[in-house]
Chain A
Amino acid sequence: MSMTKEELLKVIDDAIDLEERSIRIYRKHLDTALFWSGLPELKRDQINMHFNFLATESSKHWAKLAALRKKIEKGGKDVY
């Protein structure tokens, strides 16, 4: 199965968008789960730090996808 450059760029755009928005959605829900967890505040803060770390890590993933997108866009190949 092959796809054109335009189709591939669309898939990458969608992946970037989906990932960015998904993190926001799940983050909101996980915050609430943490609120109800009954864990001490210190422990909750620690877990929150891990969540922030994971969110930051995901931004690196977007950056990689964005770089890949740029490479494909600039490249001469049209069918993948």
Chain B
Amino acid sequence: MYKFFRFFLARLRIFTLVGSVAVCLYFVARVIIFSYSDFSPIEKLFGILLLTGETYMLVHALGYMINVFNMRGRGVDAPRAEIKSGEGPWVAIVVAARHEPKNILEETIITFRNLNYPRKNIYFLDDSSDQRYKDEADRLAKHHGIQIFRREERSGAKAGIVNAFMAGMTEKYLAIFDADQNPMPDFLDELLPYLEANENLAFVQTPQFYSNVETSPVAMGAGMQQAIFYESICEGKNLNDAMFCCGTNVVFRLSALLSVGGFDETSITEDFATSVKLHTKGYRSLYYPHVKVFGMGPDTLPAYFKQQARWSGGTVSVFKKIVSLLFKSPRSLTLMQWVEYFLAGSYYFVGWAFFFLMICPIAFLLFNVPSFFLRPEIYLFTFVPYFSLSLLVFYATMYERHYTVKQIYTGLILGSLCFPVLMKSTLLALAGKKMTFVVTTKGGREQLDWKGLWPYGVMLGLSVAAIAVGALRFRKDPYPIGVNMFWAAYHVFILANIFRFNNPPAPPEGAAAESGIAPAAGV
């Protein structure tokens, strides 16, 4: 395996080129044959669903390959200014929090205090409405000698309080962190030279890296998804000057933020929305591809789903604006910036794509409704090269960064299992509505109950039934039935993992006592 990946990685650019051609060939073959096939209206419907799901996968596979091709052998080549010790610009370091556990916040504040960079002011933007949390915040601020900021009127969530704080800022730069993100002591020393060297650079983003990956399969899966995003995808976006802000572990130039009216308070993913504004205004962004901040990821399914619902809903609402902007002002971004924003903005439709790919084998095996109209030999010569090369490029690039196949797969399965949440949140976002997510707890531990599990139960039941019917009909038409049975079995394997992920981790001993106040329900 090692030798094979090394051989593959040594010729990665060639393989990505061949892979990209294979993706395009498969797509062309699918569209042409679909257009000329003779089918009934119901077959046509399922054919369109499958083609839509596949097109989504093909477009994103192509995007990944283009990124890998572009970034091969390239690192951060942005200029750095020299900052003399004690003579650099002032930086405001902020953590915005609402009803966060005290122990988590305190760890973050300690790491702020430990930052080597001397010209810093630390602020705790406390958005709590509960008096107990306000009192805790005051005690923390007093103990650590940091400043508390509160606003009079609540408008907008995190974006609102950061904007209110920015109005009175005297520092040149703003470093933003979530409550559970701990920067390393050299964070500012590494990042500020980039901002000082280029007045047109609006922000520098660093990766999120979860420290609790060993606490549960969900934490591991979520950590892996972060790794996939921050390793290859962000590095590719950076080369196209399309890296967007991810809300935490980032340093902003205050003047750039003010020039676009601060953070976009109309979006729940204000970071993404504001990045679009900054790029359309001609500002640049930089992705610093080294971990300088460690944090905590969601470790239960409800926590993970809540995070994904928020990110997907917010991203899709911004995606609508991006599409509208493309028609109104096509020259406001470069071609590659449009491509990157299109890929990022459409990413969360993956839930729909996965659902379409799941129901088509079921429809064929249970109800004899075909949705795939390629002849076996054309399927073999177009699908197999595309599929195998896409997988190889993806696994090889992750393997190169020391991730194992098992770890990568944990991330991919967890992402696939998010499909009902993503379908709902993206649909609501398209309709301009917000999604609420109710978390139930069992014995103090977050877990999905049967109401949350029903989509998996239905899809599992249908897929298993489809395999059983397929086995009975197999001799009649082995090739198409066999292929569909294979995909149904693959989906059963993915869906069955819901039970593994829904087994919540035991809370660490003494966690409740340490945290002071019990954590409130999420925002």
Residues of A within 8 A of B (CB): 18, 21-22, 25-26, 28-29, 31-33, 35-38
Contacts and interface: CB of A to CB of B under 8 A. Distances in A.
Contacts, number: 40
A10 to B, nearest CB: 11
Tell me if A's interface is mostly helix, strand, loop or mixed. Answer: helix
A44 B110 CA distance: 27
B211 A18 contact: no
Contacts of B291: 33
Interface in B212-244: 212-214, 227
Contacts of A25: 107, 110-111, 182
Contacts of A35: 213-214
Given A22-B114, A25-B182, A32-B212, 7 more contacts: A18-B114, A31-B211, A33-B291, A35-B213, A35-B214, A38-B402, A38-B403
Most chain B beta carbons < 10 A, residue from A22, A36, A37: A36
Nearest to B113: A18
B209 interface: yes
B210 interface: yes
Contacts of A38: 401-403
B110 A21 contact: yes
Nearest first, the 5 A-B pairs at minimum CB distance are A38-B402, A29-B294, A32-B211, A29-B211, A25-B107
A26 B111 CA distance: 9
Contacts of A32: 209-214, 294
Contact of B402 (A28, A29, A36): A36
Given A18-B110, A22-B110, A29 B213 contact: no
Contacts of B111: 22, 25
Nearest to B402: A38
Nearest to A39: B402
Interface in B172-204: 182, 184
Contacts of B402: 36-38
B282 to A, nearest CB: 37
A31 to B, nearest CB: 8
A33 B211 CA distance: 8
Contacts of B209: 32-33
A21 B113 CA distance: 12
Interface in B80-125: 107, 110-111, 113-114
A37 B291 CA distance: 12
A28 B110 contact: no
A28 B211 contact: yes
Contacts of A37: 402
Nearest to B213: A32
A51 to B, nearest CB: 14
Contacts of A28: 211, 294
Contacts of B401: 38
8 contacts: A21-B107, A21-B110, A22-B111, A25-B107, A25-B110, A25-B182, A32-B213, A35-B213
A31 B212 CA distance: 10
A6 to B, nearest CB: 16
A37 B213 CA distance: 13
A61 B209 CA distance: 30
Nearest to A30: B294
Contacts of A18: 110, 113-114
B398 to A, nearest CB: 11
Most buried by B among A31, A32, A33: A32
A11 to B, nearest CB: 11
A12 to B, nearest CB: 15
A32 B209 CA distance: 9
Contacts of B110: 18, 21-22, 25
A69 to B, nearest CB: 18
A38 B5 CA distance: 15
Interface string B114-143: 100000000000000000000000000000
A39 B403 CA distance: 11
Nearest to B108: A25
A22 B182 CA distance: 11
A55 to B, nearest CB: 16
B298 to A, nearest CB: 15
A73 to B, nearest CB: 21
Contacts of A26: 184
A2 B149 CA distance: 30
A18 B114 CA distance: 9
A28 B107 CA distance: 11
A37 B110 CA distance: 26
Nearest to A33: B291
A26 B213 CA distance: 16
Nearest to B294: A29
B218 to A, nearest CB: 16
Interface string B289-310: 0010010000000000000000
A26 B498 CA distance: 33
Contacts of A31: 211
A38 B2 CA distance: 13
A12 B416 CA distance: 52
A36 B227 CA distance: 10
A3 to B, nearest CB: 14
A37 B402 CA distance: 7
B182 A29 contact: yes
